[in-house]
Amino acid sequence: MSVPSGMPATTTPTATPAPPPASVSQLSRQRVRSAWLFLLPTLVVLGMVAGWPLLRTFWFAFTNANLSNPEPPQFIGLENFATVWDDPDWWQSVRNTFFFTGISVTLETVLGMMIALTLNTRFRGRGVLRAAVLVPWAIPTVVSARMWGWMFHDVYGVINAMFLHLGFIDAPIAWTADPRLSMAAVIAVDVWKTTPFMTLLLLAALQMLPDELYEAAKLDGAGPIRVFFKVTLPLIRGPMLVAIIFRVLDAMRVFDLFYVLTTNSSESMSMAVYARQQMFEFQELGLGAAAASMLFAVIAMFTVVYLVLGRSAVEEAA
Amino acid sequence: MRKALRWLGRAAFGLLVVVITAYTLFPFYWAVVSSLKQGSALFEVEAWPRNPAWQNYALVFTEQPFGRNLFNSVIVASTVVIISLFLAVTAAFALGRIRFFGRTPLMLMILAVSMFPQIAVLSGMFELVRWLGLYNTLPALTLSYLLFTLPFTVWVLTTFMRELPKELEEAAVMDGASPWVICMHVFLPLLKPALVTTGLLAFIAAWNEFLFALTFTLSQEARTVPVAIALMSGASQYELPWGLIMAASVIVTVPLIVLVLIFQRRIVSGLTAGAVKG
Amino acid sequence: MRNVLKGLAVATAVVVPTLAVAETVAISCGTVGQEFEQCKLGAEAWAKKSGHQVKLVSGPTDASEQLTMFQQQLSAGASDIDVYRVDVVWPGLLGAHFIDLKPYVSEDVLKQHFPAIVENNTVGGKLVAMPWFTDAGLLYYRKDLLEKHKQKPPTTWQELAEVAKTVQDAERKAGNDKMQGFVFQAKAAETLTCNALEWIDSFRGGTIISDDGKVTINNPKAVEALKTAASWIGTISPQGVLNYEEEGARGVFQSGNAVFMRNWPYAWALANAPDSPVKGKVAVMALPKGGTDGKSTGTLGGWQLAVSKYSKNPAVAADLVKYLTSAEEQKRRAIVASFNPTIASLYKDEEVLKVNPFYTSLLETFTNAVARPSKVTGAKYSRVSAEFRNAVHAVLSKTGKPEDKLKALQKKLESLGRGGKW
């Protein structure tokens, strides 16, 4: 740990004289009060921005709200949830979304870690590479999804042209037409697009590690792989878990990639695409809200399980 | 033998760098190539257009108020980043450094906000924006973007706050520093890499957001870049002017690359200690 | 001084009344590009004539995204847009939010337009939209390739498959391995509903749901039509056609890699653009019949103009709609940009024909065009269409048999329609 200036190097928590007990409780009470003060602005803003829209959605889920009907919506209980629950298309979209999330987040984490470690070493041209890595993240999704759709095109797409040229395939492939292949295509684009997000967060975590750790490990004669698993990984676990949570939440809610790249048939829908179709294409605001609420429930359940397994993200490791 | 191994390792590392760069940059290169094509040339695969149509870049600005759209995007994304970072630093200090009752449920509630698909909050958000009288204005976008930037920045900064050494804070408390001073003068300088990183990610998220921007704006002058690009169309309902769209995408991506190049030193500035006034 | 004041008073007296009635009308009609330009020109001409002002609002290019945006606006009762450009299948969906235009349009004017479209735009006795321009599916083909391989333009789908196969194989042998026989739109979107309805109707297999609300989709003719279409995939059509929309198909055809293409009239001008590789080699005709006892048909597309119920000046907005859909304005648009008029007499107008020689053959297509069952299904049309196209898509991608899929579809649609009460 590098020692901040103005702080005697010998200072350790035990060496400081303990303040009298009365003032400790007073101090901690004061600290808690200031904590709430510090939180207030964030909670007010979030309450305003998220409170109303989310409550509206929850309410619509229990009504027969319909866009083509100007009358005020009627309460119909759990009917919408039952309808969605009985719809095989919904379960197909749940399967698609889970499959997509599992594969793409895993790939993004592994790739992101590799790239972050690469960028964390010193070599010439590192800055340029760092900027290059961020490019996919910087192109608006709406555009990059279309662009990839163009590149995946079976007759004049550049990907088929390259693969044919290199001899990987002997006939052009319709990447986005077949439900199985289009899933692979969507995952490839998602990995390309969001690996930078992972990379950047992991890199920031790596950058905050003190150099002495590595020097110590080097003195022990540990190889790079051992250093990574024994020293680096445990230390960046917190930020990594948070990065993964946000990636999973994003992947579960994936919309535009599926919407632009796949055929949008019921075989290749994500949950968010399903919700959109119910809401706006079929005007069934209530059904769409119910689907969205169920999507929320699925994600919430996943998050709770995940956090219980990786507690350290919320509760400091004792 | 050992020399050979080291050389091999270096070569493998070099190859890895090359492969990563190719995978990330090829689509962008392809966007540049496509942006220099017009009409039927778009349907042909070639490494570099035979007669590059540079006029696409001029057309982007003359066909629609694209300069204005760029400006809007900059304003919206910057305000979103400033507001989220300010709110998130204060919240993260409370959540990361102070133990109090109800901290974990609060963290989970903040996270729950980002568990709803955007499409689901669209209707309610639309009503909120209209009710506040912000429809078709930039503040409508700034406000609605906080929905997804704020939970993210709060969470990430909280984890980074936790990583900071206890001794710093204790020393500052001994010196009689208030929580505000500790947060803003002791911790903030240490969090620079994390701030720049989350700020950049939030900036890009706001810069590229499409659905809200499409729904809450109506006139071309109030639109942001992704919407402007998505709404470019050709001579008829079905025709897409790919060349123009790609040119616009390249124009939009370049400022972000510049931004990254400016801030990249900050991202990797490492731990700069020395913030405690003795 | 007094004179000056007097002059000012007179001047204001002259100016104020006109200002008092000058309203601003916001219209959403197409996005940027040609369509936007032409709408702007027309709207500005009206503004000049009437002394009002217009504001153009551009929306998303994709029709279903436009619908989403309009629904947001209308269900919030927003008055930001007065005049909406609506697709031919939307009157049933959005009709509740539009005013009745009958009081503003005389009977004689209405009679000029294609009756099928006027009928389509009349919901519950209300004329919710005025016909603006129309569209129908057409068959494009490479006349040079047909001549080269001594083939005749096909009159039935079966002939088309044979001709396409012959020419495609010969061209591939001759070195163009990218050559495809036939491209169309089979992405699971509204466009597939249009394509599939053309096949089924050409075999005389009905229109999914009849005008009196009976589900008719499960019949031997419809099965035969889908079987025929499924047999094209992988033989004369590439696998990728399952994800083609209009532009995907046009890209293949216009780069010289397809013999036949099904598309809307818009592709004509583009295929003959100066930089088009197939310029002058393209001909257009009505779509083939489904067998010798079938008929030639095309799905009715096109756009209408409607006035929002929440508009602050419905009368002024209706006047703009009247102007834009008038015969003079439609003629101008047909000459300048080949927008197909909804007024039959314009298809015999010499000035129009000089620019668009193919209009003579179009008239028949437009008068025989088949409408999607959007009127009878009303607010449920999108759902019906989605069920239909998903079933068709499954048949085309060989994940289901036409007999089974249509049987299941029949059941599903009957339960949706509650026995014909839509």
CB atoms within 10 A of CB C1: 5
Can you give the pLDDT at residue A312? 52
Yes or no, beta carbons of A277 and C386 under 8 Å apart? yes
CB atoms within 10 A of CB B166: 9
Yes or no, beta carbons of B43 and C255 under 8 Å apart? yes
Contact B63, B218 (CB under 8 A): no
CB atoms within 10 A of CB A240: 22
Which among C80, C81, C247 has the least Cβ separation from residue B238? C247
The arithmetic mean of pLDDT across residues B54-75, rounded, is 85
Question: For residue C111, which amino acid is it?
Answer: K
Which among A34, A53, A143 has the least Cβ separation from residue B249? A143
The arithmetic mean of pLDDT across residues A300-306, rounded, is 84
Can you give the pLDDT at residue C3? 55
Beta carbon pairs, A and B, within 8 Å? 317
Q: Each residue of C31-41: pLDDT tens digit?
A: 656 777 888 89
Can you give the pLDDT at residue B238? 58
Residue from C24, C35, C57, C61 to probe the interface with B (highest B Cβ count within 10 Å) = C61
Yes or no, beta carbons of A265 and C383 under 8 Å apart? no
Sheet strand arrangement including C24-28:
C53-57, C24-28, C83-87, C300-307, C130-136
Helix axes C157-173, C220-232, angle to 10 degrees: 10
- Residues above pLDDT 70, as percent of chain C: 93
The arithmetic mean of pLDDT across residues B173-195, rounded, is 82
Q: Integer distance in angstroms from the first to the last C-alpha of chain A?
A: 20
Can you give the pLDDT at residue A174? 80
Chain B residue whose CA is closest to A2: B273
C249–chain A Cβ distance below 8 A for any pair: no
Can you give the pLDDT at residue C408? 93
Q: Each residue of C387-422: pLDDT tens digit?
A: 999 999 999 988 889 999 999 999 989 988 766 666
- Residues above pLDDT 90, as percent of chain A: 14
The arithmetic mean of pLDDT across residues A278-291, rounded, is 87
Yes or no, beta carbons of B229 and A249 under 8 Å apart? no
Q: Each residue of C343-371: pLDDT tens digit?
A: 999 998 999 988 888 788 778 888 888 98
B176–chain A Cβ distance below 8 A for any pair: no
Can you give the pLDDT at residue C222? 95
Q: How far is B233 from chain C (nearest CA, A)?
A: 6
For all residues of chain B together, what is the average pLDDT? 81
Residue from B32, B80, B159, B212 to probe the interface with A (highest A Cβ count within 10 Å) = B159
User: Residue C323: which pLDDT band, with cuts at 50, 70 and 90?
Assistant: very high
Q: Beta C138-142 vs C282-285: how paired, if at all?
A: antiparallel
Helix (H/G/I), strand (E/B), else coil: B10:
helix
Can you give the pLDDT at residue A303? 82
Yes or no, beta carbons of A296 and B16 under 8 Å apart? no
Can you give the pLDDT at residue B170? 82
d(CA C254, CA C143): 13
User: Is the pLDDT confidence value at C318 over 50?
Assistant: yes
Which among B41, B126, B230 has the least Cβ separation from residue C72? B126
Q: How far is B215 from chain C (nearest CA, A)?
A: 7
Tell me the two tokens of residue A312: 């350290």
Q: Which helix (H) or strand (E) holds A218?
A: helix A211-219
B contacts of C337 (beta carbons < 8 Å) = 235
Q: Each residue of B18-47: pLDDT tens digit?
A: 887 888 888 888 888 888 887 666 666 777
Which among B117, B167, B257 has the least Cβ separation from residue A255? B117
Q: Each residue of C219-230: pLDDT tens digit?
A: 999 999 999 999
- Residues above pLDDT 90, as percent of chain B: 12
User: Is the pLDDT confidence value at B234 over 70?
Assistant: no
- Tokens 């509630």 correspond to B109
Tell me the two tokens of residue C9: 């008073």
Helix (H/G/I), strand (E/B), else coil: C122:
strand
User: Is the pLDDT confidence value at C196 over 70?
Assistant: yes
User: Residue B240: which pLDDT band, with cuts at 50, 70 and 90?
Assistant: low
d(CA A8, CA A225): 36
A contacts of B101 (beta carbons < 8 Å) = 32
Yes or no, beta carbons of C270 and B63 under 8 Å apart? no
Residues 97-156, chain C, touching A (beta carbon < 8 A)? 97
Q: Is B234 left (phi over 0), alpha (psi -120 to 50) or beta?
A: beta
Contact C137, C287 (CB under 8 A): yes
Cα distances from C304 to residues C313, C349, C359, in angstroms, run: 19, 22, 20
Q: How far is B262 from chain A (nearest CA, A)?
A: 10
Can you give the pLDDT at residue C1? 54
Can you give the pLDDT at residue A187? 93
B236–chain C Cβ distance below 8 A for any pair: yes
B133–chain A Cβ distance below 8 A for any pair: no
User: Residue A84: which pLDDT band, with cuts at 50, 70 and 90?
Assistant: very high
User: Residue C73: which pLDDT band, with cuts at 50, 70 and 90?
Assistant: confident
Q: How far is A171 from chain B (nearest CA, A)?
A: 16
Rg (CA), chain A: 25
- Burial profile C177-203: b = 16 or more Cβ within 10 angstroms, e = fewer: ebbbbbbbbbbbbbbbbbbbbbbbbbb
Which of these, A255, A97, A100, A263, lies nearest to A176 by C-alpha position? A263
A contacts of B264 (beta carbons < 8 Å) = 127, 130-131
- Tokens 């036939």 correspond to C182
C contacts of A156 (beta carbons < 8 Å) = 178, 251-252, 255, 257
The answer for residues whose C-beta is within 8 angstroms of residue C369's C-beta and 6 or more apart is: C116, C134, C136, C297, C298, C299, C300
d(CA B163, CA B158): 9
* Per-range mean pLDDT, top range of A11-20, B157-166, C245-254: C245-254
Neighbours of chain B (3+ CB pairs under 8 A): A, C
Can you give the pLDDT at residue C373? 92
d(CA A261, CA C240): 12
Can you give the pLDDT at residue C129? 95
Q: Each residue of C127-184: pLDDT tens digit?
A: 999 999 998 999 999 999 999 999 999 999 999 999 999 999 999 999 888 899 999 9
User: Is the pLDDT confidence value at B166 over 70?
Assistant: yes
C contacts of B233 (beta carbons < 8 Å) = 30-33, 35-36, 61
User: Is the pLDDT confidence value at A71 over 90?
Assistant: no
d(CA C199, CA C208): 12
User: Is the pLDDT confidence value at A244 over 60?
Assistant: yes
Among the ranges given (A18-32, A265-279, C1-15), the one the predictor scored with the smallest mean pLDDT: C1-15
Can you give the pLDDT at residue C96? 87
d(CA B229, CA B69): 10
Which among B271, B277, B278 has the least Cβ separation from residue A210? B271
B249–chain A Cβ distance below 8 A for any pair: yes
Yes or no, beta carbons of C96 and A68 under 8 Å apart? yes
Which among A174, A266, A283 has the least Cβ separation from residue C93? A283
User: Is the pLDDT confidence value at C291 over 50?
Assistant: yes
Distance from CA of residue A103 to its chain's centroid? 13
Can you give the pLDDT at residue C212? 86
pTM of the full structure = 0.80
For all residues of chain C together, what is the average pLDDT? 88
User: Is the pLDDT confidence value at C61 over 90?
Assistant: no
Q: Which helix (H) or strand (E) holds A131?
A: helix A126-138
Alpha-helical segments (H) within C137-245: 143-148, 157-173, 190-202, 220-232
Bigger pLDDT: C231 vs A18: C231
User: Residue C215: which pLDDT band, with cuts at 50, 70 and 90?
Assistant: very high
Beta carbon pairs, B and C, within 8 Å? 92
User: Residue C232: which pLDDT band, with cuts at 50, 70 and 90?
Assistant: very high
Which among C238, C380, C397 has the least Cβ separation from residue A154? C238
Helix (H/G/I), strand (E/B), else coil: C84:
strand
Chain C residue whose CA is closest to A161: C178
* Cβ neighbourhood burial of C220 (10 Å; 0-12, 13-18, 19+): exposed
